Structure 1
Amino acid sequence: MSSSWVLITGGNRGIGHALVTEMLSCAPVIATSRRGNPPGNPPTGKHWVKYVACDGSHQPAVDALAPELLAKYGAPAAIIHNAGITMDNLHIRQSGEQWRQVMETNLNAIFYWNRHLIPAMMAERQGAILLMSSVSGLKGNIGQSAYGASKAALVGLAKSLALEVARFGIRVNCLAPGVIDSEMTRALPPQAMKQLLAGIPLRRAGSAEEVARVARFMISDDSQYMTGQTLVLDGGMSA
């Protein structure tokens, strides 16, 4: 990965916050979120980080911000499409608006960003794109039909997009985390968490830091012969 900047969407908490912290050791970072500034103190590292308020599901917001970033900083060395929402509900009980919000945030926002940033990366003939999928996109999960569909779509997107941009030196891959220690999992009743962990061969949840370290590998020169692939990080849950 070159010394140019890295875009991380959904970078103000959870896995996104860990991604920003990890990537700051190798490149400047621009992190977007709906609110902009992260809670508490921002992460520090070898390089600078800028937080920008941008709802990626709102195409006009991306259409305004992306050209501004390109004009100021040039083409990114890497993009990590991390922003996502769940809105879990049984399929027959989910509203049309909930379905659309999940698809806009988890899938369509990637297209809104890529249509601006990929041409600039093609001109540089280098770069890496990482789509943050989920094990829910690879195996069924009750109440996550919208979320699972959106995350499964990223696997197909990575395969096709990788073929389209490979000749320009750009790699496209997916990372599919499983159960990760987070505010959501910590809020589960102890018995529910026990049952959840029982389905994981390693008998524990992963950490956001573990996800971030793998993500860094996937956008770095250490993985420069990997493209169009989905790497699963789930403690063996989908094995």
Structure 2
Amino acid sequence: MNRKWLLITGGSRGIGRALVEELARDWNVVFTCRNTGEASQAVVDACAGLPGWVEAYPCDGSNEEQVNVLAQQLLEKHGAPHAVIHNAGITQDGLHIHQTAETWQQVINTNLNAVFYWNRHLLPAMIMNGDGALVLMSSVTGIKGNIGQTAYGATKAAMIGLCRSLAPELGRFGLRVNCLAPGIIESEMTEAMPPAKLEAMRKQVPLKRLGTPLEVARATAFLIGDDSRYMTGQTLVLDGGLTA
């Protein structure tokens, strides 16, 4: 087993939980969540029998000071991570003309600024190691757009731009940077939808089904693993053909 560790932001539920549970099969994993509690402990407990150790830490990525403190703590405890998976994010859906400055800024801070806050601490240590990978969890909304998700779409499109510029900056140090853009993925939100609305969503997808969190996790495993060592600056779209 690879004894290196990686960081997953937003790992207590949905895609984040799938990331933790899948990647802990081959790596040691630290994940963050807004607050430690039953949800985060359930993830840790679910991984108890896996080869890698798993640690959960409370951290609001939109709070620069919280990131500063935890990033330094993790570097002192574990050294540089092999990979950072920027997964934490919120949507705050609503038509653009109805958005408040507060909700707009909340999405920008959580989805985009948090990436910068973590990178400024962890990237120097990763550079010194001369190896590693970043994965930015974007979305097809950043490519094709979606009504009511202007702030979310802006941040996810920004991730793609950040990836394309950061990859050539870090390539000479042996670090790779890629985006993963999932489409419509099974979640608590989709489970709560009226059946008719959910069926309409399925019909939009050429493969006629929603993706699963496990499929996202396995694509992420590819992006941080040895099989993608010649891949950087790219966006891997996992959407069942939605953007085809």
Report the TM-score when normalising by structure 1. 0.98
After superposition, where does 1:171-186 map in structure 2 within 5 Å?
Answer: 171-186=176-191
Contact 1:131 1:174 in 2 (8 A): yes
Residues 6-45 of structure 1: pairs in structure 2 closer than 5 A? 6-37=6-37, 39=39, 41-42=42-43, 43-44=46-47, 45=50
RMSD across aligned C-alpha pairs, in angstroms?
1.1
Tell me, yes or no, if structure 1 residue 187 matches structure 2 residue 189: no
Query: 1:106 Cα shift?
Result: 0.4
1:180-236, Cα deviation, whole Å (9 max, x unpaired) = 000011111111111111110000000000100010010001100000000000000
Counterpart position of 2:89: 84
Gaps of 5+ in 1: none
Q: TM-score, normalised by structure 2?
A: 0.96
Partner of 2:105: 100
Q: Can you give the 5+ residue segments of structure 2 that lack an aligned partner in the other structure? A: none
Structure 1 residue aligned with 2:4: 4
1:38/1:130 CA distance change after superposition, 3 Å: farther
Q: Which residue of 1 aligns with 2:174?
A: 169
Q: Give structure 1 regions of 4+ aligned residues with deviation exceeding 4 angstroms.
A: none
2:69 is the alignment partner of 1:64: yes
Shift of 1:41: 2.6
- Of all paired residues, the percent bearing the same amino acid is 57
Deviation for aligned residue 1:36: 2.5
User: Residue deviations 1:118-164, cap 9 Å, x none?
Assistant: 00000000000000000000002100000000000000000000010
Instruction: Give the SS at the match of 1:181.
Output: coil
Moved more, 38-47 or 96-105: 38-47
Q: Quick check: 2:3–2:52 contact (8 Å CA) kept in 1?
A: no
Asked if the contact 1:38–1:51 (Cα under 8 Å) also holds between the matched residues in 2, the reply is no
**What's the counterpart of residue 51 of structure 1?**
56
Q: Partners of 2:30 and 2:203 in 1: how far apart?
A: 38
